[in-house]
Amino acid sequence: MDLSVPRSKKPRMGDILVELGVITPDQLKIALKQSNAEQRRLGALLVSLGFATEEDIDKAVSTRLGIPYFTSFEGMLDPQVAGLIPEALARKLLVVPVLRTEDTLSVGMVNPSDTDAIDEVARISGLHVQPIMTTLANLFDGIQQLYGHKAPASSAAPAAGAKDKAAAAQVGDTVIDVVNGLLQEGLARRASDIHIEAAGKIVRVRFRVDGMLHDGSTFVKTLEAAIVARVKIMAKLDITETRLPQDGHIRFTYGGRDIDVRISTLPTVHGEKIVMRLLDSSKSLRKLPDLGIEKPVLERFAEAIRNPNGLILVTGPTGSGKTTTLYAALTELNRPDRNIVTLEDPVEYVIDRINQMEAFSKIGLTFATGLRAILRQDPNIILVGEIRDLETAEIALQASITGHLVFSTLHTNDAVASVHRLFNMNVEPFMIAAALRGVLAQRLLRRLCDRCKKPHQISERQAKELGIAASAKTSYCEAQGCEFCFQTGYQGRIPIHEWMSVTRSVRELIVRKASLDELRAAASQEGLKTMRQAAVEKASNGETSLDEVLRVTREQADG
């Protein structure tokens, strides 16, 4: 199997920075070593180390791509090009048309490697597109100058309501554009979360993409209060309260998609930190066969959820796709003759014909009290967001024993450890044995970028940690980084799973409260394949790297 990828002939960004005199060769060596160790983008690392500025990095990227770079479009913008690209589309794609020369349209972009945006601009304008690299702030200044008014609420984020006018007066149009731009950039990057954090003399923005945080823009400290106030206004939070955490949400339409943003504020020693979680509520729910679950695991899981009663657990860390799997299972079971009720914290996606409610501990609506109420609603199938304590566990187990099919989640390293987690909650072993049908454990691995991944020979360290032979016959790949994947080497994620069926032999071990090793041995004899084994197979197929396998499954191996 030939997994080789042609190497780019473009000069490397680090070499360009050395040639420009921005950094020294020794500084480059230090940054490259740290970049490889921490799996961080070289440019962001150079900025954080103080070796270069963001403008230096942008100039190097533009040099590498062979395109011009401008920090200001003052005197460059041609008003006649405004009609070529609708303002809403310009804001959606993060582009600004600058000038037209015969059949070529020069377009300002923060990410000039965004081929989808370039293709869309070319299609709409009917012209050849010449990218110009610029900063996010300059891009929005250009849009402001070209189109002459601030962002419409529907294009990026909702404007403040009438009752917020007094508060909104504290926030200028520039900050409104900055916050809207961050939301747009987050969606363009496929980010799950946007972090806005005060850090000494600056405000730093980071995006969580494919489970990893990556540095984004930085702003001057003087903008901190205005940015925080703008987000609070949009989420209808109290802008005068800076000492206590607050939670809220924003809903808006972006490019025909309904976006729900959960807002969390946190007071820190440097100022208020904001995290915005992005949820695309217009996405159609995925079906079980589309989740990437290996066929043997999928068949066993599908068989288990067809039981009329019992408890099925899905386990994994936060952000491992548990909710997606559970929603797919409920969608599979969603029929007119069944009453399905969920208790979640919070409800992420609304499903037709399913009765969904949110836990709200501040008013006493905990998982335990909510579950008791659900049992009086004549349910066939119940989803409890998480089993966190003995009370919830006992109610869920009792419900599953008395004729209900119950789904829930736990935070454990693997499927087998879920049984001992229930033991540690002081749940009676006989109840677990009677109710539990099976446990699905899952994690998400970052997928290698197909455009820049390169062949890799397994090292002795990797072979030793993974417990596999360092065979030269097995082909692996490793991350490299390119403009398409924002220099991360990865693009998207793929799941790995393991399924433990509660067979007669496993049930007998549960009743006598057997050790983890005994349970694992029995589950293995019943056909359990660990997530690490599944991950190594993904690596041998060139889908992910061995370093990623170690990063994601090391905790499981240690447990």
Which carries the bigger pLDDT value, residue 475 or residue 380?
Answer: 380
Q: Are residues 47 and 94 in the same domain?
A: no
Q: What is the mean pLDDT of residues 452-468?
A: 89
Please confirm whether the linkage preceding 86 is cis (ω < 30° from 0).
no
Domain identity same for 267 and 295: no
Specify whether 392 is located in the same domain as 422: yes
Domain shared by 101 and 220, yes or no: no
CB-based burial of residue 558 (10 Å sphere; 0-12 exposed, 13-18 middle, 19+ buried)?
Answer: exposed
Residue 30, CA distances (Å) to 16, 25, 180, 486 in order: 16, 9, 36, 21
Rg (CA), the chain: 26
Residue of higher predicted confidence among 250 and 29: 250
pLDDT tens digits for range 82-138: 888 888 788 878 899 998 888 889 999 888 888 888 998 998 888 999 999 888 878
- On whether the CB atoms of residues 18 and 28 are closer than 8 A, the answer is yes
Instruction: Give the single-character DSSP code of 150.
Output: P
Residues 175, 29 share a domain: no
Counted domains in the chain: 4
For residue 157, is it within any domain?
A: no
Nearest in space to 165 (alpha carbons), one of 250, 251, 233:
233
Torsion of CA 454, 459, 461, 464, to 10 degrees: 110
User: For residue range 21-69, what is the model confidence (pLDDT) as tens digits?
Assistant: 888 888 888 888 877 776 677 877 787 777 887 778 777 877 777 888 8
| pLDDT score, position 556 | 62
In sequence order, the β-bridge partners of residue 358 are 344
Highest mean pLDDT among 165-179, 399-413, 469-483: 399-413
Q: What is the residue range of 143's domain?
A: 79-147
Do 274 and 231 share a domain, yes or no? yes
Mean pLDDT across the chain = 86
CATH number of the structural domain spanning residue 138 = 3.30.300.160
Residue 202 confidence (pLDDT): 86
Q: Any idea what DSSP says for residue 360?
A: B
- Is 160's pLDDT higher than 50? no
123 and 168 housed in the same domain: no
